[in-house]
Structure 1
Amino acid sequence: MRPLWSPHPVRHFEGGWAARDLALPEEVPVALVFDGATQAVMMASPGDLEDFIRGFALTEGLVADAARITRVEIVDQGAQGIEARAWLTPGTGAALAERRRSMVGPVGCGLCGIDSLAQALRVLPMVPPSALRLAPGDPARAMAALEGAQPLQDATRAAHAAAFWHPEEGLVALREDVGRHNALDKLAGALLARGTDVAAGVLVLTSRLSVDMVQKAAMLGAPVVIAASAPTSLALAHAEAAGLTLISRARGARFDLHTHPERMTQECPA
């Protein structure tokens, strides 16, 4: 996922103007096509697109596991964008019909094109039981691991990241994108392809926690989400109902624990 270099910007300083080189992230239309039908068109970074379509299929409820995806193909359509194509096992068409999207999704949008309130506020599966327990210092360790492994963000200062962190193994996988939802979908696809036991670790996000990010985390089966920014009230309600531990504003030793504190090794006030 290479940045683009903008050779002619100027920056204003207290003493005047100065020319500088500037790295910018790529942003292209990516059509997510299942069994020949376009399910969504998202503005995204053009890397890890096989992970993207696998993760989108999982977090949007189109498939339950990797076995439902029989083949993935990435087709560059030149100036028009890129098609990420997936073929599913027979009988998966009902889920496609229920979650059909027809609108272009900008990078900040996670629910664009859904045509009913029931789809927007879908009932989430309960997070599977897990033996995972976090020490009070773990959110800082997880966030530090994420912050030290973001080459696109380091080059451009304009990308989001989603990572999977294990208390014993450290950083297991990380994906970046100009869109926060896309980064999480790409991570979900990578974990799905590897057969990673998501219940054994933590999702770590650079972004705020809106309800759609909680929905994707729950569909992935993650027991804990740690984010750099704050959640919405609706995100908290859905996390509580799905059995998801939500940790926000993780900065150094400080963090806010919102839901399901039983996954912390140190008892905290009710």
Structure 2
Amino acid sequence: MQNETISHTILKANGESLEWMEDTVVREVPLTIHFNSEEIATLLCSPSQTKELALGFLFNEGFIRVPEDVYDYRHDPVDHMVWVEGKPCVLQKELMSKRFVSACCGKSRASFCFANDAMMVKPLTSTSTISLQEAYYYAKYLQSHLPLFKATGGIHSGGVGWKGQVLMTSFDIGRHNVFDKLSGEAFERTLNLENHVIFFSGRVSSEILLKVAKMNVTILIARGAPTDMALSQAAALNITVIGFAREQRLNIYTCPERVIP
């Protein structure tokens, strides 16, 4: 946690009184990812789980599909650079630059903005289910087991669960990065997430929903609210979206048959 935060002197107001004190502030760094010697993207992120973030980003963007696609990984923690050498990706340039608009799963509405989204995202078929108590447990877990948010108030967090067990967690200043880190760890562990659950501290936008679909996960639990486009995509992609999950309360927005009382 020390590497994730710094101490900053602040002037704190409490009513009419002012007091100088030390506060804990979350760190933010730029991470530039190269694939086969070509610069792909610079992500603004927390300085942890760097390898998971890089691999998860490349996986979710379609550059790598299986661990055997990765030949070498190097990280420069001083200049915040990552180099990944791997199996040549035929559509490398198109994946990052080609704009593409497609109907979502034949529903005749523009939902995909990039070519890799249209190529990689298909309706999911898993019939996995979750009990209400398991959903409540995952919703509470982030608050009670990941103290960095309590210390800084400046991060998003998430995790992967299976049958009431938490298999992995991640945190980051960027909500998209949380999902890439989870995806990267699953990629390294060759873990198929088809029958797993993802739980998340933030809101569910269409971009977040697409990352979940690319990870082949059919149940998403979030503490925040979903957007209408995210719900439209979730219904078309057969993904259960649960929002406003707090203690013993939650809202089930799509595919409610997966939630068992």
Q: Distance in 1 between matches of 2:24 and 2:158?
A: 21
2:54 aligns with 53
Percentage identity across paired residues of the two chains: 22
Matched positions, count: 247
Q: Distance in 1 between matches of 2:37 and 2:168?
A: 30
> What pairs up with 1:74-93 in 2 under 5 angstroms?
74-76=75-77, 78=78, 81-90=79-88, 92-93=89-90
Q: Secondary structure at 2:131's aligned position in 1?
A: coil
Q: Distance in 2 between matches of 1:264 and 1:116?
A: 34
Quick check: 1:59–1:217 contact (8 Å CA) kept in 2?
no
Residue 15 of structure 1: how far off its partner (Å): 4.3
Residue 67 of structure 1: how far off its partner (Å): 2.4
Quick check: 1:60–1:216 contact (8 Å CA) kept in 2?
no
Quick check: 1:5–1:21 contact (8 Å CA) kept in 2?
no
Q: Which stretch shows the higher mean deviation, 55-64 or 178-187? A: 55-64
1:110 aligns with none
* TM-score, normalisation: structure 2: 0.88
AA aligned to 1:172 is L
Residue 48 of structure 1: how far off its partner (Å): 0.6
Matched, 1:120 2:118: no
> What pairs up with 1:1-270 in 2 under 5 angstroms?
2-76=3-77, 78=78, 81-90=79-88, 92-94=89-91, 96-100=92-96, 115-117=99-101, 120=113, 122-123=117-118, 124-130=121-127, 132-168=128-164, 170-266=165-261
2:109 aligns with none
Per-residue Cα deviation, 1:157-189 (whole angstroms, up to 9, x for no partner): 100112111223x21110111000011101110
Q: Distance in 2 between matches of 1:29 and 1:148?
A: 29
Moved over 2 A (4+): 1-7, 61-67, 114-119, 126-130
The structure whose residues are more often strand, as a share, is 2
Q: Which stretch shows the higher mean deviation, 196-205 or 22-31? A: 196-205
* TM-score, normalisation: structure 1: 0.85
Q: Secondary structure at 2:74's aligned position in 1?
A: strand
Unaligned segments of structure 1, at least 5 residues: 102-113
Q: Distance in 2 between matches of 1:237 and 1:174?
A: 27
Q: Secondary structure at 1:99's aligned position in 2?
A: helix
AA aligned to 2:226 is P
Q: Distance in 2 between matches of 1:9 and 1:229?
A: 29
Quick check: 1:240–1:259 contact (8 Å CA) kept in 2?
yes
Quick check: 2:4–2:47 contact (8 Å CA) kept in 1?
no
Q: Secondary structure at 2:260's aligned position in 1?
A: coil
1:107 aligns with none
Quick check: 2:34–2:82 contact (8 Å CA) kept in 1?
yes
Residue 217 of structure 1: how far off its partner (Å): 0.6
Residue 258 of structure 1: how far off its partner (Å): 1.1
